[in-house]
C-alpha cells in the first residue's frame, strides 16, 4: 500500500474509533476493567465472610490455621490484543470484511485503554505467531498499532490459536486484560486457554459473516479454502451437503463458546452485518 493511502486509512480509522472510545466506552471500559487488575500483597488470618477462593493453602497447612491472600489494585493495567490475520479473516459479504471489523474493534479497544492510561500490546498470529508489538502507552504507539492492523502482510496461511496462546503465556508475565479477535476456525486450544485464563482476564471476540452460516443453493461451485489452498467442487444443490455445512458452522460456534466459558473467559460473537459498538457496550455493561 502506498504511504499516502495508508496515512489516509489510519487517519480515517483514528477519527472513527477514537470518537467511539471517547464518547461511548470511556466509562464502560473503566467500570468493566479497572479494579480487576490485582497484585498479591500479603496474607492474614481468615475472617468470616472472606472469599474461600483466596485461601492460601500452603500457608494454612504450614501453620495449621486458615490464611487468605490479600490483593491490592494495580494502578495501571497491561492490555493485550491477539489478532488473527489468517486468510479466512479476509472475507465478507456485508458492509465490511471480517478483517476490517477486527481492525476497528482493535482500535476502539486500544484507544479505550489509552484513555485510561493503560499499556497496549498486540500479537498477530496465523498458524504461527507473526509479530509482537510490546505493550506501551501513548497516541503514537496506538497509531503504529493501527498502521500494522491495516497493512500487515502475514506469512502463514492457517490458524493456530493454541500456538498464539502459548506464546502469549510465555511473553506476558504480568496479569493483563486480553482480547482475542478471530473467527476461531481452529482446533485444540482448550488447554493453553485454560492456563492463560488462570492469570489473565480473557475475552474472545468471534467475527463471522452471514454467508458462512449456510451454503446458497446455486448448484455446482468451485470452492477454494483460503487457509489450506485446497480447491474442490461442491454440489450446493444437495440438501445433505448444505445440512452438513450448516452443522459444521454451528459446531464451530459452540466449540468456541463452550471452550471459553469453561475456562472462565468472556465471549462475544459479532456478525459482519451487526453493530460491534452495541455488542461491546452490552458486554462491558454485563461485566460491571
Give the confidence band of 71 by pLDDT, cuts at 50, 70, 90. low
Q: Tell me: do 64 and 82 sit in the same domain.
A: no
How far apart are the two ends of the chain, measured CA to CA in Å? 41
Q: Tell me: do 140 and 59 sit in the same domain.
A: no
Q: What is the pLDDT of residue 47?
A: 83
Global pTM value: 0.80
Q: What is the pLDDT of residues 29-38, one digit of tens each?
A: 766 775 555 5
Q: What is the pLDDT of residue 236?
A: 72
* Rounded CA separation 154/175 (Å): 28
Q: Tell me: do 253 and 119 sit in the same domain.
A: yes
Indicate whether 229 pLDDT > 70.
no
E strands, 9-77, in order? 38-45, 67-73
Q: What is the pLDDT of residue 69?
A: 79
Indicate whether 279 pLDDT > 90.
yes
Which residues are 235's β-sheet partners? Answer: 220
* Rounded CA separation 284/116 (Å): 15
When divided into structural domains, the chain yields a total of 2
Q: Tell me: do 122 and 54 sit in the same domain.
A: no
Q: What is the pLDDT of residue 35?
A: 52
50-59, 225-234, 278-287: range with lowest mean pLDDT: 225-234
Give the confidence band of 7 by pLDDT, cuts at 50, 70, 90. confident
273, with CB counted inside 10 A (0-12, 13-18, 19+), is middle
Q: What is the pLDDT of residue 164?
A: 96
Q: Tell me: do 245 and 170 sit in the same domain.
A: yes
CATH code for position 98: 3.40.50.410
Nine-digit cell at 111?
A: 484507544
* Rounded CA separation 180/92 (Å): 19
| Domain region containing 248 | 3-34+75-287
Q: Which residues contact 146 (CB under 8 A, 6 or more apart)?
A: 10, 13, 14, 103, 107, 110
Q: Encode 9-25: b = buried (16+ Cβ within 10 Å), e = exposed.
A: bbeebbeebbebbeebb
Q: What is the pLDDT of residues 212-223, one digit of tens each?
A: 777 777 677 666
Q: What is the pLDDT of residues 111-149, one digit of tens each?
A: 998 888 889 999 999 999 999 999 999 999 999 999 999
Percent of the chain exceeding pLDDT 90 equals 43
Which one, of 27, 41, 112, 25, lies nearest residue 77 by Cα? 112
41-55, 77-91, 103-117, 191-205: range with lowest mean pLDDT: 41-55
CA atoms within 13 A on the CB side of 4: 0
Q: Tell me: do 21 and 65 sit in the same domain.
A: no
User: What are φ and ψ of residue 50, in 5° steps?
Assistant: -65, 150
What CA–CA distances, in Å, run from 66 to 40, 51, 70, 199? 17, 12, 13, 23
Q: Tell me: do 188 and 215 sit in the same domain.
A: yes
Q: Tell me: do 179 and 47 sit in the same domain.
A: no
Q: What is the pLDDT of residue 173?
A: 84
Q: What is the pLDDT of residue 249?
A: 83
Indicate the DSSP class of residue 8. H
Q: Tell me: do 142 and 257 sit in the same domain.
A: yes
Q: What is the pLDDT of residue 269?
A: 95
Amino acid at each position: 500500500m502506498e504511504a499516502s493511502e495508508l496515512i489516509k486509512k489510519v487517519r480515517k480509522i483514528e477519527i472513527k474509533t477514537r470518537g467511539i472510545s471517547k464518547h461511548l466506552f470511556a466509562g464502560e471500559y473503566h467500570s468493566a476493567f479497572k479494579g480487576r487488575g490485582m497484585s498479591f500483597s500479603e496474607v492474614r488470618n481468615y475472617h468470616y465472610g472472606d472469599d474461600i477462593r483466596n485461601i492460601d493453602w500452603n500457608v494454612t497447612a504450614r501453620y495449621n490455621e486458615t490464611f487468605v491472600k490479600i490483593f491490592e489494585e494495580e494502578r495501571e493495567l497491561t492490555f493485550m490484543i491477539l489478532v488473527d490475520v489468517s486468510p479466512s479473516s479476509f472475507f465478507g459479504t456485508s458492509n465490511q470484511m471480517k478483517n476490517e471489523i477486527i481492525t476497528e474493534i482493535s482500535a476502539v479497544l486500544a484507544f479505550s485503554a489509552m484513555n485510561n492510561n493503560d499499556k497496549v500490546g498486540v500479537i498477530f498470529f496465523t498458524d504461527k505467531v507473526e509479530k509482537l508489538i510490546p505493550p506501551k502507552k501513548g497516541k503514537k504507539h496506538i497509531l503504529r498499532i493501527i498502521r500494522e492492523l491495516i497493512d500487515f502482510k502475514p506469512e502463514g496461511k492457517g490458524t493456530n490459536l493454541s500456538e498464539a496462546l502459548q506464546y502469549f503465556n510465555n511473553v506476558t508475565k504480568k496479569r493483563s486484560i486480553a482480547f482475542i479477535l478471530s473467527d476461531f476456525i481452529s482446533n485444540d486450544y482448550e488447554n493453553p486457554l485454560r492456563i492463560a485464563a488462570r492469570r489473565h482476564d480473557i475475552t474472545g471476540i468471534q467475527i463471522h459473516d452471514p454467508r458462512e452460516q449456510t451454503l446458497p443453493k446455486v448448484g455446482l461451485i468451485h470452492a477454494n479454502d483460503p487457509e489450506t489452498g485446497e480447491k474442490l467442487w461442491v454440489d450446493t444443490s444437495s440438501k445433505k451437503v448444505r445440512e452438513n455445512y450448516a452443522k459444521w458452522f454451528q459446531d464451530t460456534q459452540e466449540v468456541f463458546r463452550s471452550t471459553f466459558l469453561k475456562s472462565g473467559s468472556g465471549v462475544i460473537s459479532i456478525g459482519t452485518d451487526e453493530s460491534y459498538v452495541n455488542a461491546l457496550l452490552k458486554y462491558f455493561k454485563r461485566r460491571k
